[in-house]
Structure 1
Amino acid sequence: MNMLMNFRRNMTAVLTAGTLLCGLLLPIQASAADVAFNEPLNGTNPNLFYTSDGWGNGPDFGVGWKAANQEFSNGIMALRLDKAGCPASCSGKNYASAEYATNVKYGYGRVEARLKAAKGTGLVTSLFTYSGPGTVTSNDEIDIEILGKDTTKMETNYFTNGVGQHSTIINLGFDASLDFHNYAFEWSPTSIKWYVDGQLVHTENGSRGALPTSPGHIMVNLWSGAGPAEIWTGKFNYPGTPVRAYYDWIKFTPAN
């Protein structure tokens, strides 16, 4: 019996030490959801995503979000920007467009999508995470944005507690509005790494400002700049027919 009790005490000590060591070696997962997904975008998936509808963002955005502006065809999701019924049915905005976001927030891991950007001065095609306000931190965000005024470039950025000013312009070497390409970022406690078609194109390690720590909704949208944002996006002039950004799939892979 004494030998059994000693064995149990020794094993408890080993397991406790092992648990502590794992806690030191592995990053703390900031995620509210750490389950991988691969969304093929064959249609709406309310178990995983919601479609913004009936509201608009602040003065930087020239669009109101409408579920009717989200389209699916042959395994491709299109976000359509138009002016049907605006501004009365577009939350007071001059245009309507679409936004798709996960129901829950995700933490450290790889976010990626295959997309074809919209072309036209004033437009922004995006893939990003957004935490929203929180009790400890607010407005943490990681961005991939392709501006319609020059679709041969991609802009990376991140926000921590609402503080940005970390943007970097990446020359893609192709026109993102002409074909589908894979865009991704990997977020860890020590870095954010951006990829295009599997190639690493930019890394942030916190040297320009603290990295985000709050999990965020994974989101895609198409919008036109307005007000103060026009300095960045350029002024959008509606071409007379709807404009679309296209998405083939969206994936998330949690960190180990």
Structure 2
Amino acid sequence: MRSTTTHRHRPALRRRLMVTAFLVALVAAPALATPAQAAIGGSFVDNLDGFATSRWHKANGYSNGGMFNSGWRADHVWHSGGVMGINLDNYGCPSGCSGKPYASGEYRSNDMYSYGRYEVRMKAARGGSGTVTSFFTYTGPSDGQPWDEIDIEILGKNTWQMQTNYYTNGVGGHEKLIDLGFDAAAGYHTYAFEWWNGGTINWFVDGRLVHQENGSRGKLPTHPGRIMMNLWPGTGVDSWLGPFSYNGQRQATYDWVKYTRY
């Protein structure tokens, strides 16, 4: 099936909440290495068969606050059967979830990565509205840099679509919804983006180009960032994610991650 794209701006409230969320995270999160200390990573393939501590770390013991309605817990990121999984549940909450009603996980690269091709094979969480399954790059004040970000997001309210976005120096509002032609929560598919120096960002699904940004809607990111994967429930952003209603554990799984430096 040929893909189609539609454009939708999130409300200004969502962008204000996002800024608040990251500012809260900067206070609560452990200090990260600055770019001068963190390596600029080279090409790699990680089959996610186990926790490679030389490449990754698990967010633990804090919450991004704002619209993020879960606390990050390292025990909610696991490796088994050749895949990595992230659980979203309410076990031990709120006392063990940074005061939030739910717990979930985030996997973050130790190094920073610059221009290149970023690929992941993943299966999104199912279970209805209110959640985000993601693969993205991020850097910001915690890294001593401006907030730059490139996103692949599957929203639980419609797992037949992928949302793309990017932020440059904290300015977002570049969302696109891509009709996938399949249910991203029903099986594994390969999602990717190419970030070219000064030129374009191209997004792919199963090797097929589905969207391109060339800077005409706003300057593209320029700062190297960390590779991240997470699953989280929203609060106060029903107009974007839809309402979240907990009916048991939800789970996203990741088969492999690949980065090719350009």
Query: Are residue 96 (structure 1) and residue 83 (structure 2) matched?
Result: no
Secondary structure of the residue aligned to 1:55 is: coil
Query: Are residue 40 (structure 1) and residue 27 (structure 2) matched?
Result: no
Q: Radius of gyration: which is bigger?
A: 1
On the 8 A contact 1:102/1:218 being kept in 2, the answer is yes
Identical pairs, percent = 52
How many Å separate the matches in 1 of 2:65 and 2:172? 17
Query: Are residue 152 (structure 1) and residue 157 (structure 2) matched?
Result: no
In the TM superposition, what is the alpha-carbon distance from 1:127 to its structure 2 partner? 0.3
Equivalent residue runs for 1:161-240 within 5 Å: 161-188=169-196, 189-227=198-236, 229-239=237-247
How many Å separate the matches in 2 of 1:132 and 1:42? 29
In the TM superposition, what is the alpha-carbon distance from 1:136 to its structure 2 partner? 8.0
- Which residue identity does 2:242 align to in structure 1? G
On the 8 A contact 2:67/2:234 being kept in 1, the answer is yes
- Counterpart of 2:60 in structure 1 is 53
How many Å separate the matches in 1 of 2:162 and 2:150? 13
On the 8 A contact 1:124/1:224 being kept in 2, the answer is yes
- Decide which moves more: 126-135 or 245-254: 126-135
How many Å separate the matches in 2 of 1:93 and 1:209? 35
Structure 1: gaps spanning 5 or more residues: 1-30
In the TM superposition, what is the alpha-carbon distance from 1:43 to its structure 2 partner? 1.3
How many Å separate the matches in 1 of 2:193 and 2:177? 15
- Counterpart of 1:114 in structure 2 is 121
- Counterpart of 1:6 in structure 2 is none
In the TM superposition, what is the alpha-carbon distance from 1:138 to its structure 2 partner? 1.2
Scaled by the length of structure 2, the TM-score of the pair is 0.83
Structure 2: gaps spanning 5 or more residues: 1-37
After superposition, the C-alpha distances for 1:62-86 in whole angstroms (9 at most, x for unaligned) are: 1100011112111011100000111
On the 8 A contact 1:186/1:193 being kept in 2, the answer is yes
- Which residue identity does 1:44 align to in structure 2? F
In the TM superposition, what is the alpha-carbon distance from 1:161 to its structure 2 partner? 0.4
How many Å separate the matches in 2 of 1:57 and 1:85? 18
- Which residue identity does 1:84 align to in structure 2? Y
How many Å separate the matches in 2 of 1:157 and 1:95? 26
In the TM superposition, what is the alpha-carbon distance from 1:235 to its structure 2 partner? 1.3
Scaled by the length of structure 1, the TM-score of the pair is 0.84
After superposition, the C-alpha distances for 1:99-130 in whole angstroms (9 at most, x for unaligned) are: 00100110000111000001221010000000
- Which residue identity does 1:93 align to in structure 2? K
In the TM superposition, what is the alpha-carbon distance from 1:230 to its structure 2 partner? 2.6
In the TM superposition, what is the alpha-carbon distance from 1:53 to its structure 2 partner? 0.6
- Counterpart of 1:250 in structure 2 is 257
